Amino acid sequence: MIKKIHNFKFVIRNCQKGMTYVELIVVLSIFAVMSSIVLFNHGKFQAKVDIKNLANDIALKIVEAQKSAMSGKWNTNAPSGWKPSYGVYFDLSVPNHFIYFADFVDINKQYDAGSGCSTGGGECLDDIEITKGKISKIEECLIGDCSSSASISSSLSITFTRPNSGAVFYDSGGELTGFDYMQITVSSADSSFNGYIKIYPSGRIQVN
């Protein structure tokens, strides 16, 4: 009986033996590899989320311009006889900003950048800074074919004027027509991920 008890204690002491250095190094190496994979995938996932959020934010600002115009929202700087007209302006030379504006200088359905956003008397209501991502391309697209579309090289104003809920598009050369929808592409800093906002002349707005 005593011999069995001694043997039992011996087995218990053996079970409490620690890991060897080799086993510890192997476990830590596996942990390091798994952590690297998780962190790498998390970075890619976060970049996709940031671009999706940016596309949604831009679309929501365009919707805000449409709703402000349709609801007849008044602006204290507007001239007499003004029909509520609001829009969003993009300048591709400044891809990390876009502007929410009220169209009341000459009421020409495009943004008048002359007074900027700091004077308080111009058309600019809000200069929105993009902190994650950029506006990389603006294109006039036909249904089912945006690969061979015409690209906007400089700037674009998307304007809504009461009582029409449709969008009017202007670049630096004047009003744009002859396309099915306007597509704004937003990209991550390294251009590895893209998001797309489609704005139709009817006023429909879609995010992909």
pLDDT of the residue at 68: 94
The CATH number of 42-207, from 1.10.3470, 3.30.360, 3.55.40, 3.40.50, is: 3.55.40
Distances (CA, A) of 124 to 1, 13, 89: 94, 78, 9
Q: What is the mean pLDDT of each run of 10 residues along the chain (208 residues)?
A: 50 58 80 72 78 95 95 84 90 92 76 68 86 93 77 88 91 88 92 93 94
Question: Are 130 and 96 a contacting pair, CB within 8 Å?
Answer: yes
> Is the alpha carbon torsion for 108, 135, 48, 192 positive or negative?
positive
Give the contacts of 103 (CB within 8 A, at least 6 positions apart): 85, 86, 87, 109, 110, 111, 123, 159, 161
Residue type, 119: T
Per domain, the residue ranges of the chain are 42-207
What's residue 148's pLDDT? 65
pTM of the model: 0.76
pLDDT value at residue 45: 78
In angstroms, what CA-CA distances link 71 with 39, 82, 146?
47, 14, 33
CA distance 80 to 120: 18
Structure confidence at residue 2 (pLDDT) = 47
